[in-house]
């Protein structure tokens, strides 16, 4: 897919504005709370890197610079949607252990726990390395072999861990995550 300079600038500006407003809890940028979906995630590239330079969306070495700052992901072909999702911003919630006041549900026969807070829904599992902190990433590439959903940069994957636990979290390999794409109001 050919990416024009104008579409690249628009995608970067849209995501920058979306991320900036999304981090400011005093602004109401989103029409509704996010609807979280379950998926699997892996990581690629160097542990603290940006994955590959640019990927199929054509961002080149911009992925390691602001506003991307290495917080990128490749996605399955179905999420990539023939390149129409290039530049889309997603928020991830990492599984968190020992969550209180949760409701247990089953997904494919596996128990998952959900709790509702003001803005976040966090899935809990047995992973002691996940902080429960949500991170935001931008789609920059397609991963045709990623049947699970997301192949995060090493930086994105590690950002979901407690400080000092990034290496252990990356050692899990395939991680159950929750993700949401925010719709602009």
Q: Which has the higher per-residue pLDDT, 14 or 89?
A: 89
The answer to whether 159 and 18 are in contact (CB under 8 A) is: no
Q: Give, as one character, the DSSP assignment of residue 61.
A: G
Query: What phi-psi label fits residue 13: left (phi over 0), alpha (psi between -120 and 50 degrees) or beta?
Result: alpha
pLDDT in tens, 168-183: 988 988 888 888 876 4
Domain CATH for 91: 2.40.40.10
pLDDT at 142: 92
Spatial CB neighbours of 134, under 8 Å, sequence gap ≥ 6: 91, 92, 93, 94, 120, 122
pLDDT at 163: 92
pLDDT in tens, 35-85: 677 888 888 888 887 877 668 888 888 888 777 788 888 888 988 889 888
Q: How many residues does the chain have?
A: 185
Q: Does 25 have pLDDT greater than 70?
A: no
Tokens describing residue 96: 């968190």
Q: Does 12 have pLDDT greater than 70?
A: no
Mean pLDDT value across residues 117-127: 38
Task: Give the residue among 74, 76, 120, 113 at the shortest CA–CA distance from 95.
Answer: 113
pTM score of the predicted model: 0.65
pLDDT at 120: 30
Domain that holds residue 124: 5-181
Distances (CA, A) of 4 to 7, 48, 119: 5, 29, 35
Q: Does 13 have pLDDT greater than 80?
A: no
What gap in Å lies between CA 63 and CA 53, rounded to an integer? 7
Q: Does 108 have pLDDT greater than 70?
A: no
pLDDT at 125: 45
Task: Give the residue among 166, 93, 102, 178 at the shortest CA–CA distance from 129.
Answer: 166
Tokens describing residue 40: 């699997």
**How many domains would you assign to the chain?**
1
């Amino acid at each position: 897919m050919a990416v024009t300079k104008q579409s690249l600038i628009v995608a970067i500006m849209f995501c920058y504005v979306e991320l900036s407003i999304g981090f400011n809890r005093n602004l109401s940028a989103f029409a509704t709370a996010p609807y979280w979906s379950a998926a699997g995630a892996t990581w690629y590239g160097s542990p603290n890197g940006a994955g590959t330079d640019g990927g199929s969306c054509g961002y080149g070495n911009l992925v390691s610079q602001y506003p991307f700052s290495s917080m990128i992901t490749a996605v399955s072909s179905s999420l990539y949607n023939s390149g129409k999702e290039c530049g889309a911003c997603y928020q991830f919630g990492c599984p968190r252990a020992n969550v209180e006041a949760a409701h247990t549900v089953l997904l494919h026969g596996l128990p998952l726990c959900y709790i509702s807070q003001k803005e976040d829904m966090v899935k809990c599992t047995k992973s002691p390395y996940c902080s429960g902190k949500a991170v935001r990433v931008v789609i920059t590439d397609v991963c045709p072999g990623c049947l699970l959903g997301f192949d995060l940069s090493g930086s994105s994957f590690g950002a979901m861990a407690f400080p000092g636990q990034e290496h252990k979290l990356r050692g899990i390999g395939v991680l159950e995550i929750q993700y949401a794409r925010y719709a602009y109001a």
